């Protein structure tokens, strides 16, 4: 409905020493990760090797009623997933966790990220007789692991060998009858961390906010390329694929992650404040008030105001109850849809020169409508500042940054032209160099391929973004 970016998903896993209501813990964790995926969700539970799972389209509280959680019962291991599709569309068979029963036992897998060689992997498996039920790249990861498991002594060894085959972004949690396994691609595109509760339960999550939600204490991030194995024997690690500096998606700090999360040692909130501070230094402008577009633009607006000395104010009220399922029956209602999501506080805007901070501009349609809201509220001037560089290239690693023909930064010759297109008096983006300084304590490198076209791993040549599903249906 809105011209926003979406991240593919969030994952969570828990290992208890004895059976308990682990599904309830996963439910709470998925609730805190809902911002990472609002299309579908699922939970799988292992009760002494017996797997029970449930998944469906919709938000976490809609899918997991009390009856649903009761149906999942007790167990000592569970994993969960919230999803927004990038590779693989809205197909019930794409909803995770994927539960697989093979000759060596049961396995459930939840994946955050996107493979760049998904089509080649799938084609190879199909030629050897594999049958796929959905269109997501997660099935290819599962097949890679199961095919190696037939010849390996343990699941973690199979994961280690499969990681030589799968290329791209993947932060995964995997459950067997006796183990919870977490593994992260060698570049560390997507976050993954470990926590522990006071009673000895171990948890793995996409973000630290989920760790805290279930009452656990953050222990550490999973290293890029690391395989963490949690069982009744304790916690062990395989670091065969470790050693890269990493290339964390910088948009985790700019937009995707919750502001109360800490990723690679750096506060997400603080990173966004720093983005605003850098914006104020790089692209100052005279104005009367600085406002942020909810939600991720607010922290950057505070940083811009602090650095510039221009007062920060509340410009928008966000409707907290609007969901992704909102239906617009006709074109006119689609045009006005942004008014349902945001309302301007006219008293703070009328007659003022406004600096509007947002995290990104993708296609430009929503930004133009928000600028118009400010104009209609009586703003004397509207200066737009974006806390990221312009998108000029697609993302292949789990973010729905589209092909160049859909990106506004590729449609105009200059930033001034984009400013005119969205109706702003001026427009400025954060520099690429500044994005690499946002996470002041992180030791990892960053992926900025959607800004620069310089990808840390080889991406498909001559293939448009999001054409995986079309290819497999030919």
By annotation, the residues acting in catalysis are 9
Tell me if residue 137 falls in helix, strand or coil.
coil
C-alpha separations of 157 from 76, 293, 441 in Å: 22, 47, 33
Pairing assessment for the beta strands 426-429 and 381-386 based on DSSP bridges: parallel
Q: H-type helices in 423-463, by residue range?
A: 432-435, 449-452
Which neighbouring-strand residues pair with 202? 15, 196
Phi and psi at residue 412, to the nearest 5°: -125, 155
C-alpha separations of 188 from 93, 119, 250 in Å: 27, 21, 11
Please state, in angstroms and rounded to a whole number, the distance separating the CA atoms of residues 187 and 204: 18
Please state, in angstroms and rounded to a whole number, the distance separating the CA atoms of residues 284 and 100: 55
Q: H-type helices in 324-431, by residue range?
A: 331-335, 337-341, 346-349, 365-376, 415-422
Burial class of 120 by CB neighbour count within 10 A (0 to 12, 13 to 18, 19+) = middle
**251-260 burial: b if 16+ Cβ within 10 Å, else e:** bbbbbbbbbe
Strands of the sheet with 381-386, listed across from one edge: 289-292, 353-358, 381-386, 426-429
User: Could you give the angle at the alpha carbon of 304 between the alpha carbons of 300 and 305, nearest 5°?
Assistant: 115
Please state, in angstroms and rounded to a whole number, the distance separating the CA atoms of residues 201 and 230: 10
């Amino acid at each position: 409905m809105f011209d926003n970016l979406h991240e593919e998903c969030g994952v969570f896993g828990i290992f208890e020493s004895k059976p308990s209501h682990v599904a309830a813990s996963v439910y709470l964790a998925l609730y805190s990760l809902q911002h990472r995926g609002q299309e579908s969700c699922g939970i799988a539970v292992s009760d002494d090797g017996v797997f029970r799972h449930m998944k469906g389209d919709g938000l976490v509280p809609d899918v997991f009623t009390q009856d649903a959680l009761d149906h999942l019962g007790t167990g000592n291991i569970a994993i969960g997933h919230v999803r927004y599709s990038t590779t693989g569309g809205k197909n019930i068979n794409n909803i995770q966790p994927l539960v697989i029963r093979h000759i060596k036992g049961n396995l459930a897998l939840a994946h955050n990220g996107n493979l760049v060689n998904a089509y080649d992997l799938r084609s190879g498996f199909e030629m050897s007789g594999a049958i796929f039920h959905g269109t997501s790249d997660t099935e290819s990861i599962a097949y890679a692991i199961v095919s190696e498991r037939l010849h390996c002594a343990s699941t973690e060894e199979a994961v280690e060998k499969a990681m030589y085959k799968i290329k791209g972004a993947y932060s995964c949690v995997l459950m067997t009858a006796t183990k919870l396994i977490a593994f992260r691609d060698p570049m560390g595109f997507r976050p993954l961390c470990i926590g522990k509760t006071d009673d000895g339960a171990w948890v793995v999550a996409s973000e630290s906010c989920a760790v805290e939600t279930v009452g656990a204490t953050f222990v550490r991030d999973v290293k890029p390329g690391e395989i963490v194995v949690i069982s009744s024997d304790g916690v062990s690690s395989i670091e065969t694929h470790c050693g890269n500096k990493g290339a964390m998606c910088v948009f985790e700090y700019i937009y995707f992650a919750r502001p109360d999360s800490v990723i690679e040692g750096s506060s997400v909130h603080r990173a966004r404040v720093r983005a605003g501070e850098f914006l104020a230094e790089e692209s100052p402008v005279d104005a009367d008030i600085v406002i942020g577009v909810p939600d991720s633009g607010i922290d950057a607006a505070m940083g811009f105001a602090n650095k510039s000395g221009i007062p920060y104010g509340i410009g928008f009220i966000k409707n907290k109850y609007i969901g992704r399922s909102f239906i617009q029956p006709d074109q006119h209602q689609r045009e006005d849809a942004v008014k349902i999501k945001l309302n301007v506080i006219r008293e703070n805007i009328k007659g003022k020169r406004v600096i509007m901070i947002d995290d990104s501009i993708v296609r430009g349609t929503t930004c133009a409508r928000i600028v118009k809201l400010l104009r209609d509220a009586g703003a004397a001037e509207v200066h737009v500042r974006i806390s990221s560089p312009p998108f000029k290239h697609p993302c292949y690693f789990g973010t729905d940054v589209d092909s160049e023909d859909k990106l506004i930064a590729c449609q105009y010759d200059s930033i001034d032209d984009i400013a005119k297109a969205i109706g702003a008096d001026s427009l400025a983006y954060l520099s690429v160099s500044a994005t690499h300084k946002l996470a002041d304590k992180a030791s990892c490198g960053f992926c900025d391929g959607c800004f620069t076209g310089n990808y840390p791993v080889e991406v498909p040549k001559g293939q448009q973004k999001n054409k995986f599903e079309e290819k497999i249906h030919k």
